[in-house]
Amino acid sequence: MTRVRTVAVIGGGIAGPVAALALRKAGIEATVYESHPTTADGVGGTIAIAPNGMAALDIVGAAAPAAEVSWPVHRQVMTVGRKRLDLPGLAGAGPLHVVQRSDLYRILAADVPIQYGKRLVNAVQGAGGVTAAFADGDEIEADVLIGADGVHSTVRRLIDPAAPGPHFTGMVAMEGRSPLTVPEEPGTMIFAFGKRGFYLYGPALGGGTTFGVNLPHRPLTVAEARAIPSPRWKETLLEVYGSDTPGGDLIRALPAEELTVNGALHIMPPVPHWYRGRMVLTGDAVHAPSNSSGQGASLSIESAIELAQCLRDIPDVTDAFRHYESLRRARVEKVAARAARTNSVKAPGPIGRALMPIIMRAFMRFAMNPEKVIGPEQRYRIDWAKTL
Ligand SMILES: Cc1cc2nc3c(=O)[nH]c(=O)nc-3n(C[C@H](O)[C@H](O)[C@H](O)COP(=O)(O)OP(=O)(O)OC[C@H]3O[C@@H](n4cnc5c(N)ncnc54)[C@H](O)[C@@H]3O)c2cc1C
């Protein structure tokens, strides 16, 4: 029988609510504390959940509702200028599921207690538990505290003040739904290397074309990015993508006010300490592999569930956290390393730009071997029924 009875989960994004769902399934009381004042209804862009992420969501009962509101991607194509390459899929692995972020949050939050407007500012550990302090002056106690508070995690600094922070990838993300249609089958996603930047697009559910850009840019915060008026962002996008086909036309046809600014894209370097005492990290707080992996959300869901499984089966908290790290570290660092290679192709430095034709040929060859490249990522399955 586990000694952990109560868990405070900091962060109500993806990893936090999934951890709480899995803990409650394991018979452990869990409450989520989220800094935003309200739910994320209608806010944010889209996110693609990989087959491994859907399989993990199934353990907490969220895969079917997520699939219902998603757009399945059955075909992926890469274009480099006019060159077009069908990316072979993983046999029998199932599609990617593209879902509105706010829909996923709503599904995950339906069955867990979440307190909004609770920004964690400090946590103090005692012999048998943790006292968490919030910006509004409230304090709560729990046996264990999980930091699922994203790439700029406060809990990561509380665990280790010298912990590394996220690295900026050199790109800013934006997305929109252009009224233009593209001559592609529904369920197709195109990954396009334009003349000066990377973008992706595909036919949108209900008409038009969904597109997203990874715009090469100087670092800036989400607040700074959103403070720039959308007509100004549209001009910048046209400077970079204006002569790309169909990228330039998709952007020109989109009313500027319908552009969603997601903000700067980050990647986490390896984090030396995943836990200390009764505090532990999960999700982007400890392993954000950047959007280029297509795995950030899926790995967050997996880690949250495997952490809950360790707390369910291993009575000593330190042993449970040690086992959790041993299950997850190599896997998540490998995915981040793959994504870092992709980032260097999307946003090359001066030497990278000169070597781009050679790099691109190697990159395309690499993409043609999905079983080796993404097979281990997407075929991963958690055995929840197994006792650790
Ligand atoms: C533009 C973009 C596109 C992406 N596309 C994909 C994709 O297609 N597929 C994919 O798998 N991944 C994608 N990702 C990555 C994915 O979004 C993340 O990996 C995932 O959201 C991580 O979930 P999380 O719960 O760990 O962190 P988050 O989703 O960042 O949630 C953290 C939560 O903690 C809260 N919080 C922060 N600090 C505190 C505090 N002190 N106190 C209380 N609460 C706090 C935040 O408000 C937030 O709600 C993308 C990321 C970006 C930026």
- The three-state (H, E, C) secondary structure of 325-371, written as one string: HHHHHHHHHHHHHHHHHHHHHHCCCHHHHHCHHHHHHHHHHHHCCHH
Dist CA 177 CA 189 (whole Å): 14
Is 294 touching ligand 1 by the criterion CB < 6 Å? Answer: yes
Q: Is 356:310 a contact under the CB 8 Å cutoff?
A: no
Q: Is residue 29's pLDDT more than 60?
A: yes
Could you tell me the two tokens for 121?
């500012």
Q: Is the pLDDT of residue 2 over 60?
A: no
User: Ligand 1: distance of its center to the CA of 104 in Å?
Assistant: 12
Residues 268 and 336 sit within 8 Å (Cβ to Cβ):
yes
CA–CA distance from 292 to each of 41, 79, 171, 364 (Å)? Answer: 25, 16, 11, 15
Q: 50 falls in which pLDDT band (50, 70, 90)? A: very high
Atom of ligand 1 nearest to the CA of 119: 42
Closest ligand 1 atom, residue 17 Cα: 25
Question: What pLDDT shows up at residue 343?
Answer: 85
**Maximum CA pair distance of the chain?**
63
Residue 1 binned pLDDT confidence (cut-offs 50, 70, 90): very low
Confidence of residue 368 (pLDDT cuts 50, 70, 90): confident
Show the tokens assigned to 263. Answer: 């903000």
**Residue 66 pLDDT grade (very low, low, confident, very high; cuts 50, 70, 90):** very high
At 42 the pLDDT is 58
Residue 91's pLDDT band (boundaries 50, 70, 90)? confident
> Is there an atom of ligand 1 within 6 Å of 96 CB?
no
Give the model confidence (pLDDT) of 251-308 as tens digits: 999 999 999 998 899 999 999 999 999 999 999 999 999 888 999 999 999 999 999 9
Hey, what are 186's tokens? 């529904």
The pLDDT of residue 41 is 61
Residues 327, 306 contacting (CB under 8 angstroms): yes
Confidence of residue 349 (pLDDT cuts 50, 70, 90): low
299 vs 369, higher pLDDT: 299
In the chain, residues under CATH classification 3.30.9.30 are: 167-266
Q: What per-residue confidence (pLDDT) applies to 352?
A: 65
Q: Ligand 1 within 6 A of 175 CB? A: no
Mean pLDDT of the chain: 92
Q: What is the position in ligand 1's atom list of the atom closest to the CA of 297?
A: 11
CATH class of 6-72+98-166+268-348: alpha beta
Domain with CATH 3.50.50.60 in the chain: 6-72+98-166+268-348
> Is residue 220 scored above 50 in pLDDT?
yes
What percent of the chain shows pLDDT beyond 90? Answer: 76
Does the C-beta of 291 come closer than 6 Å to ligand 1? yes
Of these ranges, 72-86, 222-236, 298-312, the one predicted with the greatest mean pLDDT is: 298-312
Query: Per-residue confidence at 372, pLDDT binned at 50, 70, 90?
Result: confident
d(CA 237, CA 230): 10
Report the pLDDT value the prediction gives residue 371, as an integer from 0 to 100. Answer: 86
CATH T-level fold of 167-266: D-Amino Acid Oxidase; Chain A, domain 2 (3.30.9)
Atom 3 of ligand 1, residue of closest alpha carbon = 291
What is the spatial order of strands in the sheet that 120-125 belongs to? 120-125, 130-134, 139-142
Question: What pLDDT is recorded for position 297?
Answer: 97
Structural tokens at position 319: 């042993």
How far away, in angstroms, is 14 Cα from ligand 1 center? 7
User: 191 near 198, Cβ under 8 Å?
Assistant: yes
Is 321 or 194 the better-scoring residue by pLDDT? Answer: 321
pLDDT of residue 190: 96
345 alpha carbon to ligand 1 midpoint, in Å?
23
Enclosing H/E stretch for 49: strand 46-49
Q: Burial, 131: exposed, middle or buried (Cβ in 10 Å; 0-12, 13-18, 19+)?
A: middle
Q: Is 297 in the pocket of ligand 1 (CB under 6 A)?
A: yes
- Cβ 173 under 6 angstroms from ligand 1: yes
Is the CB of 51 within 6 Å of ligand 1? no
